[in-house]
Structure 1
Amino acid sequence: MGGAVTALLLGPWQFLPRLRARRPALHRWTGRVYVPAAAATGVGGLLLVPVGLYPPFAPAGFAVLAVLTLVSTGAAVVAVLRGRVALHRTWMVRSYALVFTGVTFRLWLAVLTGAGVSFEHAYVPGAWIGWLLNLLVAERLILRHQRDV
């Protein structure tokens, strides 16, 4: 859980163009903290899958989320090490969108249970919808950025 909180707090700072331009060393060091935090989030998520609520569907959704978090963060690191900054940025948007699922999922649960939906009926689809919705938003942002460049 500490990895997710750390990644959630550091992620937005990574997307500030002025910070990247004026303080590139700070951007790199923040990224060096974000990456292991996001990796810990993915690994921790995989470790929780066997004890997840409402198997097999909800744990499967969280397992996919964990794997995608690890893959997207890893792809971002590989891209930047190869000097492919634009590709790195694209993968980091995806990584942060996946990390942000913790927030989206909890909002989903609050809204649906507040509207009278049972916890189980909110939880199971939320295990999938939370990260799918975040990735859709991320892809839209990526496409918009690519059109503007």
Structure 2
Amino acid sequence: MAEVILNSQITTKLSAKALLSASTKFWFATTVVGQWIFASYVLVFYGGATFNGDIAQWNKVMPHGYVEGDLIGNLAVAVHLFLALIVLVGGPLQLIPTIRNKVPKFHRINGRVYILTAFILAIGGLFMVWTRGVAGADIGKYSISINALLILLFAFMAVKNAIARNIKVHLKWAIRLFLVMGGVWFFRVGLMLWLMIHQAPVGFDPKTFEGPFLTFLGFAQFIVPLIFAELYFKAAESTANGAKFMMATTMSILALMTIGGIVAATMSMWLPRM
């Protein structure tokens, strides 16, 4: 009887661990696909407008993206968009275990490019926000600035622990960095999911792009993913099967919500402009 109970406990533990792993991979795969769709949109829309010599088209979706006569500012925006493509495509590759284990040299090189790009994007984002402004209320400047500062901090911590060979800690900081780097993407997916659910601009004015929901989303775009990341870390390291099962359920729900937001954003924002 004792052997049966022990085997049952081992099976339950393995099932809980496997379910948490599967649900996390499901969310990650969903997020990567969504970010690559967004990257395709950035390349086609902004790249196409630039290639055709009609940079003013940027302003259709990015307020003050192009300002006539402001060469430095326009160049900063162009570089920011180009580097965003690099992190959207290369960032997720850093978190795939097969790539880290099978091609470590690529992981190191891609990692260096990713970290350097993260620093440039964060600093460039701060420059753009405080010189070009943001859509909607000025509170957006502060939420975006905090996001940028977190990128700088997490990138530094990821590098510091990689150099010290604290791989487990390094991976955690890399995950946190991936999440805050996706702040802009999370904002769009969250907004479109909200609109899809309510079928109306609830909690904000679509003309001024101001309102309590957008204020909340401006900070939630990086705070909420980080909260769930910390909950995941605790569940993965916990010996309690219940914690793993609960987090696996949560990750599955988040994945489904993410899919809804991706579909809504793709059909209403990205695909029509590609």
The TM-score, its normalising length taken from structure 2, stands at 0.50
Q: CA deviation at 1:113?
A: 4.4
1:68 alignment counterpart: 150
Structure 1 Cα separation of the partners of residues 84 and 122 of structure 2: 9
Q: 2:210 aligns with which of 103, 107, 120?
A: 120
Q: 1:7 aligns with which of 73, 76, 87?
A: 87
Q: 2:117 aligns with which of 16, 34, 37?
A: 37
Structure 2 Cα separation of the partners of residues 102 and 124 of structure 1: 14
Alignment partner of 1:79 is 2:79: no
Q: Structure 1: which 5+ runs fail to align? A: none
Q: CA deviation at 1:105?
A: 0.3
Percent identical pairs in the alignment equals: 24
Q: Which amino acid aligns with 1:139?
A: E
Q: Which amino acid aligns with 1:87?
A: V
Structure 1 Cα separation of the partners of residues 193 and 96 of structure 2: 30
Structure 2 Cα separation of the partners of residues 17 and 54 of structure 1: 40
CA displacement, residues 95-126 of structure 1 (integer Å, 9 cap, x when unaligned) = 00001112110112223345322332243322
Aligned length: 148
1:26 alignment counterpart: 106
Q: CA deviation at 1:128?
A: 0.6
* Bigger Rg, structure 1 or 2: 2
Structure 2 Cα separation of the partners of residues 87 and 60 of structure 1: 29
CA displacement, residues 120-147 of structure 1 (integer Å, 9 cap, x when unaligned) = 2243322111111121222233334434
Q: 1:103 aligns with which of 172, 185, 188?
A: 185
CA pair 6-141 structure 1, distance change in 2 beyond 3 A: farther
1:93 alignment counterpart: 175
Report which of the two has the higher share of helix. Answer: 1
Structure 1 Cα separation of the partners of residues 100 and 154 of structure 2: 20
Q: Which amino acid aligns with 2:143?
A: G
Q: Is the 8 A contact 2:137 2:210 kept in 1?
A: no
Q: Which amino acid aligns with 1:90?
A: K
CA pair 9-128 structure 1, distance change in 2 beyond 3 A: same
Aligned Cα root-mean-square deviation (Å) = 1.9
Alignment partner of 1:57 is 2:139: yes
Q: Which moved more, 1:71-80 or 1:108-117?
A: 108-117
